[in-house]
Structure 1
Amino acid sequence: MSNTDHAIKNVVLVHGAFADGSGWRNVYDNLTAQGYRVSIVQNPLTSLEDDVAATTRVLERQDGPTILVGHSWGGTVITEAGVHPNVAGLVYVSALVPDAGETTAQQYEGFAATPNFVIDVGDDGFGFLNPEKFKIGFAADTSDSDAAFLRDSQVPINMSVFGTAVKNAAWRDKPTWAVIATEDQSFDQAMLQHMAARAGATVTNVSASHALYVTKADVVSDVIATAAQEALAGVR
């Protein structure tokens, strides 16, 4: 009997800033091998509205209840897009978890700075992670070659997105899980724990860098599978 026999079978994965959907490959492979139907959003990273629209297009293609997963900035995206009726549960992977009316930038207030997470912003307002700090700040537990590929395949983000408030907070109405990297150099650990606790998320901590969706794919996949098993019984 597969894990999907008595569970939600649809999973939608949403990447964060400075990345694209290819980083989800190991999670995708794990879940599809277990019988889940997995879709990956390719966020344009041009505005919150654009990223929510990209996610909504994929959600519209699902044939029933869906677990919506976001990494990093993708957490802000799924917080807004997760109000879609197909979404039965949310999984935040070292992700931002704003409330309705809050911006992403507000989540950082009162928490420690992360000196190894350095963004170089161009004259057009789009940002890349600094190449010299990329591995330690984003992907410290990857191999040098994998970190170099992630660094050199970055998708820049329109920095104005961090000042855009979300209108809805799907986690207020839907069961929520969080996987938090305890060695994250992109977000302050206390900030990650605070956001997850405020959302009432079931938290799994794992020793990993911010790129845990790549390096700890087994743990992330297990939490998504748990969400798929439990979400319909836990809608708030």
Structure 2
Amino acid sequence: MKNAKSILLAAAALGLSSVANGQTAKNVVLVHGAFADGSGWRGVYDELTSRGFRVSIVQNPLTSFDDDVVATKRVLARQDGPTILVGHSYGGSVITQAGGDPKVVGLVYVAAFAPEVGQSTLDQYAEVAPPPNFVPEESADGFATLNRDKFKAGFAGDASNDVAAFLRDSQVPIAMAALKAKVTFAAWKTKPSWAVVATQDGAIDPRLLRSTARRIGAVTTEVKGSHVVFLTQPKAVADVIEQAAMKAQAATR
């Protein structure tokens, strides 16, 4: 598997773009993470659709890991050809499990987890602990939301106060069981991968993001931004997705 992945990534690194052959992957599926919904992708959506991509956004129920994987597969089933699958934060765990779909020709991890088989999202914090302002609070029913007072610093540090307040007050609770669920398949082992490291991430330490990107062999781009870098730096994130679309299909042919 490692040799196959190395060949794919080497091809991508050489810049083997399928653009010249008219075979760039034109479908993009965006998968949000915990404590959020798909609306945060609007800036990336606008960037990509203006560049000619067909973009679909998954709305994860966040009720269980299996539910979120099924929601992602449901959107993948509607795609009409080669697709780039993008995950933010916990969404990286989801695309790791769901990315084996044959339509998926590349994976993009945006400030995201990328578990090994047998790992959960939370297991990855064993390598580098979460920053101090990232404070999930679990309720009696097993769902968690982020601490109100530390929300901006831990989740959306480079967003305006108004935007951060809206994200805080509209956050979607996630079942803690979803964060503890182990992945049984790792798509990054056979699919070329890209990673965006948010250098001011207050939810996943940038050291962990860098280590994760190295472990999965991802082509890595560092972007100055918080954990919601996709929302605050949509052009930079869209640029990485476009790069993946240009190179991934050629690398997997």
Q: Which residue, 49, 59, 63 being the options, matches 1:32? A: 49
Q: Which runs of 5+ in 1 are unaligned?
A: none
Code of the residue aligned with 1:173 in structure 2: it is T
Code of the residue aligned with 1:12 in structure 2: it is V
Q: Which residue, 183, 187, 190 being the options, matches 1:166? A: 183
The structure-2 alpha-carbon separation of the partners of 1:112 and 1:153, relative to structure 1 and needing over 3 Å to count, comes to: same
1:190 alignment counterpart: 207
Residue correspondence of structure 1 range 74-223 to structure 2 within 5 A: 74-223=91-240
- Contact persistence 1:126–1:159 (CA under 8 A): yes
Q: Which residue, 9, 13, 28 being the options, matches 1:11? A: 28
Give me the TM-score of the superposition, normalised by structure 1.
0.96
**How much has 1:110 moved relative to structure 2?**
2.9
Q: Which residue, 27, 38, 45 being the options, matches 2:62? A: 45
Q: Tell me how far apart the structure 1 counterparts of residues 139 and 218 of structure 2 sit (CA, whole Å).
A: 36
Across the aligned residues of Structure 1 and Structure 2, the Cα RMSD in angstroms comes to 1.5
CA deviation vs aligned residue, 1:138-163 (integer Å, no higher than 9, x gap): 00101111111111110000011122
Give me the TM-score of the superposition, normalised by structure 2.
0.90
**How much has 1:106 moved relative to structure 2?**
1.4
Higher relative contact order (Cα pairs below 8 Å, separated by 6+ residues): 2
Q: Which runs of 5+ in 2 are unaligned?
A: 1-18
CA deviation vs aligned residue, 1:97-132 (integer Å, no higher than 9, x gap): 001121112111131341100111100010001111
Establish whether residue 234 from structure 1 lines up as the match of residue 251 from structure 2: yes
Establish whether residue 68 from structure 1 lines up as the match of residue 85 from structure 2: yes
- Contact persistence 1:4–1:34 (CA under 8 A): no
CA deviation vs aligned residue, 1:154-206 (integer Å, no higher than 9, x gap): 00000111221101000000000000101101011211111111110000001
Code of the residue aligned with 2:200 in structure 1: it is E
Q: Percent identity?
A: 58
CA deviation vs aligned residue, 1:22-51 (integer Å, no higher than 9, x gap): 000000000001110000000000111000
Query: How many corresponding residue pairs?
Result: 235
